[in-house]
Amino acid sequence: MTADGTLGRVWFVGAGPGDPDLITVKGRGLIERADAILYAGSLVDLAATRYAPAGCRLQDSKGMSLRQIADWLMDAAARYTTVVRLQTGDPCLYGALTEMTRPLDAAAIDWQVVPGVTSAMASAAAAGETLTLPEVTQTVILTRMAGRTPVPATEQLDVLAAHRTTLCIYLSATLLPEVEQALRTAGWPSDAPILVVQKASWPDAERIVRARLGDMVPRCQEAGIGAQAMIIASPALGARHWPRVTPSKLYDPAFGHRFRRADRSETDE
């Protein structure tokens, strides 16, 4: 038990997409005062080793099974006050959060989640792109191709792609030909813009490929991208180079709301 005889708390902290400076202020604060940190070493070692205090118990989880991770967290909670499970991106998205917290619930160990920047947002930021655009697309779908982990039939990529909205495709860089086929099946044309970002925000490791659906696969092969990449397909890609876009009504001078009176004498270009 901890010094006061109670169990410690486990914090699931999203480290963000790779740049250790993109962790949240709250997440960094928890790391700086943590007694024990279990981190995904293949992805977030910089954040763990840069901010952890002297004497903190550090453990890399990349060689551990889910059961071993849960056992480590429960053992640490019995010994320490502040235990951090440091994960890439956001713990609530492809982070096995439910699988790791069920044993903690069973053991009456308190836990909380600190969100993090996910790679879809980091990739769009790296490329200077927007995922939504007025009168073009207002919906973002976060998904993945079926692989060793299957997806429900109603969530096959070609089914989701039929909506022709923004798709942020995780964990699928090794399945680029299958991604292309799914989008083609859904009716996306060969010249549909595609953005592929490998290791978004990683210092000295980020790679950005702008392609069309028809040349996505060879372009990524040429760039050496085969893993740890976000694939974004969206009708909004490249909009900053269009001759004109429809501006947001929120900032339209003729559109009033509770913080601003409408001014119909001012016109947008």
Say yes or no to pLDDT of 41 above 90. no
Spatial separation of the C-alpha atoms in residues 31 and 29, rounded to whole Å: 5
Cβ–Cβ under 8 Å, residues 44 and 91? no
Tens digit of each residue's pLDDT (9 = 90 or more) over 55-93: 999 999 999 999 999 999 999 999 999 999 999 999 999
Alpha-carbon distances of 31 from 7, 74, 105, 151, 189, rounded to whole Å: 18, 18, 23, 34, 46
- pLDDT confidence band for 226 (50 / 70 / 90): confident
- Among residues 234, 230, 210, 236, the alpha carbon closest in space to that of 89 is found at 230
- pLDDT confidence band for 268 (50 / 70 / 90): very low
Is 0.85 topped by the overall pTM? Answer: yes
Of 144-153, 169-178, 214-223, 253-262, minimum mean pLDDT range: 253-262
- Domain topology for 119-239: 3.30.950
pLDDT at site 147: 86
pLDDT at site 3: 60
- Domain topology for 9-114: Cobalt-precorrin-4 Transmethylase; domain 1 (3.40.1010)
Alpha-carbon distances of 193 from 77, 92, 161, rounded to whole Å: 48, 28, 14
Spatial separation of the C-alpha atoms in residues 52 and 36, rounded to whole Å: 9
What is the average pLDDT value for the chain, to the nearest integer?
Answer: 92
pLDDT at site 155: 97
Every domain of the chain and the residues it spans: 9-114, 119-239
Q: How many CB atoms lie within 10 A of CB 135?
A: 8
Spatial separation of the C-alpha atoms in residues 22 and 126, rounded to whole Å: 13
pLDDT at site 269: 47
**The domains spanning 9-114 and 119-239 adopt the same CATH topology:** no
Residue 45 token pair:
């070692």
Tens digit of each residue's pLDDT (9 = 90 or more) over 83-121: 999 999 999 999 999 999 999 999 999 999 999 999 999
Say yes or no to pLDDT of 208 above 90. yes
pLDDT at site 258: 66
Residue 68 token pair:
């071993």
Task: Give the chain's length.
Answer: 269
pLDDT at site 267: 55
CA dihedral over 31, 45, 69, 197, signed as positive or negative = positive
Say yes or no to pLDDT of 231 above 90. yes
Pairing of strands 193-198, 207-212: antiparallel
